[in-house]
Structure 1
């Protein structure tokens, strides 16, 4: 792809994700930019609405009015005649492209790109049974659709990878033809009364296997098994894919990092350091850098908003009017920039709820779940919002569901602590203790899990064990105070643990 595309008084720079109008950057959201790039790249023909939706919202169920809104946005910037609506067919970009002053060689597909790309190849079917072949095809489609919802990655459509079925094409050649950095490949074969699915994540440039796993379907299961297995695959594949991308980023020079690279560094900080003060602060700083690089990066704004108010709500930074204004501005910017992304709306909606604006926050979370019913974070946030509004039973069940559908999520330590807090509110003390102990095993650096353990053990009369848990909490966070405990767990627990405070020092 050329470094820049020129038309009329505009210059489009794909690698930098910038549209210049008479040399000045235009304010375009990430979806509007993707739509423009899609139309310009296919300027020689009419694109159907379904083609545009597949390019701009791959694997997502999106209403056509979202497309109309972004087309309208582009027309306001480019002029009403720049994008023609062809009745009954779709859209076409009408402005003639001008040649660039210099021709730049096309970059290698596996080199640094704004968005890392991945393709799920057709699975090898080691059986003559047509039902196994149908199962394998459906599984690839489901995994592709779920993978397309992982923030920060572009997934090649299933229609483009189908041509590699039953071909012995070398990995590097497949990657070059598809223009991807990562590939998922594997096979399906009968095994006794079940099917064995074997998968690998491969780095295209080196042909190195980064992850491999096997999954079995149970006898008698049909469509539900296919969906369950697809979710299980994603729950294991997503962390490995993110880890591989972070490693790729860190092999680059720091001054080359783009908005998506900083976003992945933020994710990596939480994965490596947990929900500690260091982890959250580092992640927030990386997200701030990402939106500085690209002010129209909705996902960066939404995650920054959520981490900022969470950091204040758990007592790590002062909850000042300026901080709250910053959170509101970031959440509003995210929603305005990318209201068709379930991930963006999930984070922004949670941030609004954490600010106390439950009416708008819950409405935003509902929209996130309409776009993607598999958004675990949005389910957890909705559960917390319901519980905080007096619907404890419903909220706890929603929290459990969100955690269930993402069993290897990097946020399970925090989510488990949150669930434990609501269980304790219902006086389900032993259940809360079991849950928060599991939370500590997932993320042993998160100090609030040990505070909640201390509260549960105190309630059960195990004073010495409560004292040990409180000591661990203070070791995890040296700055921990009784006021922080009262803020995060309530004054009653703060008062009870205050009695043990001096002995735990």
Structure 2
């Protein structure tokens, strides 16, 4: 079978000798096609002029300006950056390229992967945003129940909400085979939703559906869409009753706005003291407006517990009680919401309520197996109970589900700590370095890096990493390190600390 190549919005079919742009044929002359095929099939290296001439015009004497003409013609079709001219060396194809061989290798993975992309809003109605977010969450949660598929977390797909990246580029970054794409628009007194299931690499549409409903029937609309998508992926599920999966939204939009501000604080400042403090403050504002907002209660409980455990809040009875009450309140309010249960369960584990925390996290994963945060938290809880190998594997699964997650820096830091405990310092160093790359403002990632370097006997690099941690957080103390990394690591770090002094 002749291979096909995919780049930007194009597909180059070698067997049929055609170039497609978003499914439409682009007419190329025979020599132009051969020149493009020569460049694309060798995209990983620079091709000399002689090599191109021998390949495209075999046995024919031609002038070099033919290359200039063909290059100009292709740039008009593909874009000016598609072909690089390297003076004195030759030409190289510059766009990222995937081949059918790559796609086939990916499709043979144990669990085919699906990304449900944020629904596009084609209109100016503010309340459509809430329907779009609800649809995204519900479709992800329902698809997560399809056996044999791995669903990419909403936290990662939302990274591309306002991105200009092509579907192929998104597929490459998220490592997915399939994509669910959708749009929402008002049509008179109705809401119309269009949904497609596509090959994420080629853009080929396997199924498409249109759904219309009045705004009052939003939940029925969500179920209709879920039924349509699932009917293509798992026909057997149509025979079973599809339960409504609802997400609690606060009735007061100001409460939701404060919740979004909290998420924005973490995005802007990372897992630093400033980021955690500002996020907790916005969640408190949200809860002052609506005490029955379960998601805000759960997130407040988790950030409070985390802040206490890494030394940013005191280990006081008041802090413990505030976090515990918020976690219990969240479960009481919204035990059918995987996100709420994931945050609350993690908070309970961090507060020492391990048995209830594990039960809550397991409930979160039953509701949505693709809840990356719950997967990571459940793995961390297992590791804390000395099931290190099982816990580490589950944490890595959670990160695989959500490879673009804003929480990844924090998760990688936790993973590096457990790898140190498992006496795997090289892996611990690798994960700590990734944590630093994801969030340079998170001081504990630098501390984990210092601990890993020290374990490996590299005192100079350990000292440098510790200096970076103290630069990021000048108030850092050995006591904080003991709380976050344990007394043994704190004792070793203390020696580096005193040596620096």
User: Matches of 1:144 and 1:177 in 2, distance apart?
Assistant: 33
Question: Any idea what SS the aligned residue of 1:378 has?
Answer: helix
Conserved? CA contact 1:120–1:184, under 8 Å: no
Tell me how large the CA RMSD over aligned residues is.
3.7
8 Å contact kept, 2:153–2:402: no
Q: 2:254 aligns with which of 234, 258, 265?
A: 258
1:271: Cα distance to partner? 1.3
User: In the alignment, is the contact (CA less than 8 A) between 1:117 and 1:179 conserved in 2?
Assistant: no
Call closer, same or farther: CA 1:294–1:464 in 2, change over 3 Å.
same
Aligned pair count? 308
Structure 1 stretches of 5 or more lacking a match? Answer: 1-58, 60-107, 122-137, 154-170, 199-222, 228-255
For residues 440 and 464 of structure 2, the distance between their equivalents in structure 1, rounded to whole angstroms, comes to 15
Task: For residue 273 of structure 1, report the CA deviation from its aligned partner.
Answer: 1.0
What is the alpha-carbon distance in structure 1 between the residues aligned to residue 141 and residue 355 of structure 2? Answer: 38
**What residue in structure 2 maps to residue 315 of structure 1?**
311
Q: 1:481 aligns with which of 454, 477, 482?
A: 477
Once the two structures are superposed, what CA deviation does each residue of 1:108-144 show, in whole Å capped at 9, x if it has no partner? Answer: 97344496231899xxxxxxxxxxxxxxxx9999599
Where does residue 426 of structure 2 map in the other structure? 430
The equivalent of 2:124 in structure 1 is: 110
Q: Distance in 1 between matches of 2:473 and 2:450?
A: 15
- Residue deviations 1:442-465, cap 9 Å, x none? 111111011011011111111111
Question: Partner of 1:450: helix, strand, or coil?
Answer: helix
Q: TM-score, normalised by structure 1?
A: 0.55
Q: Which has the larger radius of gyration?
A: 2
State which of 373, 387, 411 in structure 2 corresponds to 1:391.
Answer: 387
Distance (Å, rounded) in 2 between the aligned partners of 1:184 and 1:271: 31
User: What does 1:88-167 correspond to in 2, within 5 Å?
Assistant: 110-113=124-127, 116-118=130-132, 142=143
Note the alpha carbon deviations across 1:331-390, whole angstroms, 9 max, x for none. Answer: 111011111111111111111100111111101111111111111111111111111111
Q: Deviations over 1:41-82 (max 9, x none)?
A: xxxxxxxxxxxxxxxxxx9xxxxxxxxxxxxxxxxxxxxxxx
Partner of 1:250: none
Residue in 1 that maps onto 2:213: none
In structure 2, the CA distance between the partners of 1:338 and 1:444, relative to structure 1 (3 Å rule), is: same
Provide the C-alpha distance between the structure 1 equivalents of 2:414 and 2:141, rounded to a whole number of angstroms.
35
Runs of 4+ in 1 over 3 A off after TM superposition: 108-115, 138-151, 171-180, 183-191, 194-198, 502-505
| Native 8 Å contact 1:470 1:504 kept in 2 | no
Is the 8 Å Cα contact of residues 423 and 432 (structure 1) preserved in structure 2? yes
* Counterparts of 1:190 and 1:396, CA distance in 2: 30
TM-score (norm 2): 0.55
Classify 1:142/1:499 alpha carbon distance in 2 versus 1 (closer, same or farther; 3 Å): same
Q: Assess if the C-alpha contact under 8 Å between 2:152 and 2:401 holds in 1.
A: no
Q: CA deviation at 1:257?
A: 5.8
Choose from 443, 447, 457 the match for 1:447.
Answer: 443
The answer to whether the 8 Å contact 2:255/2:287 transfers is: yes
Contact 2:262/2:278 (8 A) holds in 1: yes
Cα distance in 2 between the residues matched to 1:147 and 1:179: 27
Could you tell me whether the CA contact under 8 Å between 2:153 and 2:370 is conserved in 1?
Answer: no
Select 2:486's aligned residue among 478, 484, 490: 490
Q: Which residue of 2 aligns with 1:382?
A: 378
* Distance of 1:479 and 1:404 partners within structure 2: 34
Q: Secondary structure at the match of 2:291?
A: coil
Contact 1:119–1:184 under 8 Å retained in 2: no
2:460 equivalent among 461, 464, 469: 464
Aligned to 1:355: 351
1:373 aligned counterpart, secondary structure: coil
Choose which of 251, 276, 279 in structure 1 pairs with 2:275: 279
> Does residue 1:291 correspond to 2:318, yes or no?
no
Change (3 A) 1:335 1:172: closer
